[in-house]
Structure formats: structure tokens, C-alpha cells
Amino acid sequence: VVQSFATLLSAEKSQALAEKFGISALPQILSETKYEFKDQGKTLTVDLDNGNFSYIKETTISAKETPDDESRLIEGFENVLEKLGALKEDLRTGRTKVTLLKIEGARLIPTELRSEAEAAQISLWPAPIDKKSIFTPDFNKSLVTAIVARRADNIENYLSLDFTYYPVDTTTFATYPIKGAEAAFEDLKSGKGVVVVEPEEPEVSISSVYMGYFLGESYSPYLQPIFVFEGPHFVAYVPAIREEFESQAK
């Protein structure tokens, strides 16, 4: 995973990004590499090292209007990222997920009924590597994700937008022995895995097991191979590298 660092133009680029969100205020310098822009209920935090950013808009959804269909939401999100100068080519070909949301009290919660949806969460994952998908700490939410009301092709409709992206250099890699699926399952039963989708009942049924790569929110020099155990209302990750080699791989 490629690590980037701030340049002389990083501060200037962050100001240009803020203006694209409609924020004209000067930044508050949180640290040498982190700027925060605030204006008219909008907050944008930018990491100067890698260009990753987080945006949130303080607003209420007043007029009820059902969001666009899934394909238009994804296309609109990609178009907005492109206008922001943030869209990466492999985000066009990775996994995508749209979760419809409805208002309950002061919160937005998932709903499966389009008729009661008032917003949508859109997630884009990087493209698979060697036919193995990339997974993030939240199985149903990527590191490039947004919550939008109505149409996704208008930046003013965005309630939040989180962009965390680390370029992967597929020409630089290391080879380590991996455990078998049965050994990984034993690790899961003994508590060595991480449950990322909690089951409704204490007993679960695992319907599929496959391999992927784990990409965390914080920078790590390598993608980590994992086994993904999936079933109804249940997902767990288990490291795929054999334990005696894990310390060398980190």
C-alpha cells in the first residue's frame, strides 16, 4: 500500500477542495498535516498527507422525496467524486452498495422499503485484486461512502461524504503461507476472528467462505489476506496468514 506525504501544494489543494464544497472560509490548522474548514453549517476535514477527507453538513431533510434508483445514485456519486478530483479508476470497478435510509427521531436508520426512504448511503470499494475483493472494517460500508438526500449528482444534496483511499501497488508484494479454511474456521470458533456483522441469535449458519483482502481506516503498508465467513445476518473475518508468520507480515 503506497504511503504519500504532504507537498508544498497540499494546503493549496485542500483550499480548492473546500471551495468545491461551497466553503470559502480559511482553514483551522489542527496539526501540520490536518486542516479543518467550516462555513454555513458545513465542515470539511482534510489530511494533507494523502488527500483523504471527511465532510459533513448540518441540515434537516424537510421535504420528503424518495432518492434516485441504485444505479443513478452510484453514477451520481462517481460524478461528484470526479468533480472533486477524487475519483480513482479502480473505484469504478469495485463492489458497490446502496442502503436506503429513513428518519427515526433524530437518526437515519436503514429501511428496505423505497416508499419510506428519505436518504441513501452509497459505498464504493476498490477493485478486486487477483479476483479477491477488498473488505473494510464495516462489511456494509466502505471507506469511500456518502449519505445523500434525493439525487446524488448534486453536491448540495450530500449530508456527509467520507473519502479514505490508499493506492495499492500490485507490483510490490510478499509471499507468506496461509492456513486452510478448516483451520480458519477453528480460529473463528475459538474467538480469534472478528465478527463484523452481529447475528440476531447466538447460533449462526455459515453459508459461504471465501478469501479477500482487508484494508483498514488507518494506513498499513500491506493489505492483509483474510477469510470471510458469511451467513444470514452474520459476517466474520479471520486472518489467513499462518500465526507463526503474522508478526513478520505486519
Give the model's pLDDT for residue 150.
83
Give the model's pLDDT for residue 62.
61
Paired with 119 in beta bridges are 101
- Average pLDDT in the 23-46 region? 95
Give the model's pLDDT for residue 93.
92
Give the model's pLDDT for residue 201.
84
- Average pLDDT in the 161-181 region? 92
SS (H, E, C) the chain: CCCCCCCCCHHHHHHHHHHHCCCCCCCEEEECCEEEEEECCEEEEEECCCCCEEEEECCCCCCCCCCCCHHHHHHHHHHHHHHCCCCCHHHHCCCEEEEEEEEECCEEEECCCHHHCCEEEEEECCCCECCECEECCECCECCEEEEECCCCCCHHHEEEEEECCCCCCCCCCCCCCECCHHHHHHHHHCCCCEEEECCCCCCCCCCEEEEEEECCCCCCCCCEEEEEEEECCEEEEEECECHHHHHHHC
pLDDT for 89-121, tens place per residue? Answer: 999 999 999 999 998 887 889 998 888 898 999
pLDDT for 215-239, tens place per residue? Answer: 999 999 999 999 999 999 999 999 9
Give the model's pLDDT for residue 13.
94
**Cell numbers of 5, please?**
506525504
Give the model's pLDDT for residue 60.
73
- pLDDT of residue 248 exceeding 70, the answer is no
Burial category of 190 from C-beta neighbours within 10 Å (exposed 0-12, middle 13-18, buried 19 and up): exposed
- Average pLDDT in the 19-44 region? 95
Residue 118 to residue 246: CA distance in whole angstroms: 45
- Higher-confidence residue: 62 or 232? 232
- Average pLDDT in the 37-65 region? 89
Give the model's pLDDT for residue 217.
94
Rounded mean pLDDT of the chain?
92
Q: 63: pLDDT confidence band, cut at 50, 70 and 90?
A: low
Give the model's pLDDT for residue 178.
92
Question: For the chain, what percent of residues have pLDDT higher than 70?
Answer: 97
Q: 202: pLDDT confidence band, cut at 50, 70 and 90?
A: confident
